[in-house]
Structures are given as structure tokens and as C-alpha cells.
Amino acid sequence: MSEHRSKDLGLLALRLGVGGTLVAHGAQKLFGAFGGGGIEGTAGAMHAMGFRPGKPNAVLAGLSETGGGALLAAGLATPVGGAAVAAAMAAAVFVHRPNGFFAMSGGYEYPAVLGLTAASLAVSGPGSYSLDAALGHRLTRPWVAAVALVAAGVGAGISISKRQSAVAAEAQAA
């Protein structure tokens, strides 16, 4: 097997595994699938974590995971899907940061790995076994990745900042 084909198969496996995992997590948030809380349960959890208002933040998180994960798995608009996931995972990292790094202690390890993987796929592209390749890579130009990642970073920064302000205000009131 050629080195190029091996790389493309590796990217396909990575996209399917990470994208599928994200679709499942988003479906928990949006639809209550796989034992998830659905929109109402997720909205309550988002509110408790300091994301206000809870319901729009729950929808945004669910769509970022489900939509971004589906785009990654399909290798379609890969920079956009990767950026959406990276932004959602950046917010999750900030929620879990007080618990340290390791997931077994409630830390940020898992969302950090998912976010880094998604951002890496946004930059590297999906490989030859993808819808982007079938479309002539029209949606994977370097400027698309740059714009998507910058926009996602700004959006994540705003969301994280608002959450931190809400958490600080609650701590001061208590």
C-alpha cells in the first residue's frame, strides 16, 4: 500500500471515529438519544454551568457537535466542521478545567483531545476518501480553514467570557 493511500485511510478512520463520537454526543444534547438529556435537560445543565441563557447554548452545543461531527465524518466542508467542534470543545475545556487534566477526575482531557483532533482535521483536510475530495476540494481551501478557525475562536471566546462573568457574579452573590 502506498504512503499516500495509508495516510488517506488513516484520515478516514480518524474522521469516522471522532465524527461519529461527536454526532452521538450532540444527539444526546439535541434529542435525548443514548441516554442524553435532550434540549431541556441539556439547557438545565448549561444554565447550571453558567452558560446563559441555557436553552440557546444547549442548541448551539448540540448543533456544533452533531453538525460538526457529521461534516468531519463525511469529509464535507471539513474546515468548517472541525472549527465548529473545536469551538464547542474549547468551551467544554473551560468548564472542566478546575478539575485538572484527567477525565477520570472530571478534568478536561477528553474535550481537549476531541477539540485538538477536530482543529487538526480542519487544517490538514479530510484526505482523498471524502466528499470534499469528490467535490474537488472547493470547500477546503486554506483561507476557508483560516476564516472558520478564527470565527470559531472568536465565538468560543465570547461564550467562555460570558460564562466566566456569570459564574463570577454568582460566586460574588453567594
- What are the structural domain ranges in the chain? 3-173
pTM for this predicted structure: 0.95
The amino acid occupying position 67 is: G
b/e sequence 87-98, b meaning 16+ C-beta within 10 Å = bbbbbbbbbbee
3-state secondary structure of 66: helix
Nearest to 70 by CA among 82, 58, 56, 54: 82
The pLDDT tens digits of the residues spanning 1-36 come to: 678 899 999 999 999 999 999 999 999 999 999 999
Q: Provide the strand spans (E) within 17-96.
A: none
Which cell goes with 164?
A: 466566566
- What pLDDT is attached to residue 75? 98
DSSP category for residue 144: H
The pLDDT tens digits of the residues spanning 42-71 come to: 999 999 999 999 999 999 999 999 999 999
Taking the C-alpha atoms of residue 5 and residue 130, their distance in angstroms, rounded to an integer, is 13
- What pLDDT is attached to residue 2? 77
Residue by residue, DSSP assigns 70-82 as: HHHHHTSSHHHHH
- What pLDDT is attached to residue 52? 94
Maximum separation of any 2 CA atoms in the chain, in Å: 63
- Mean pLDDT score of the chain: 96
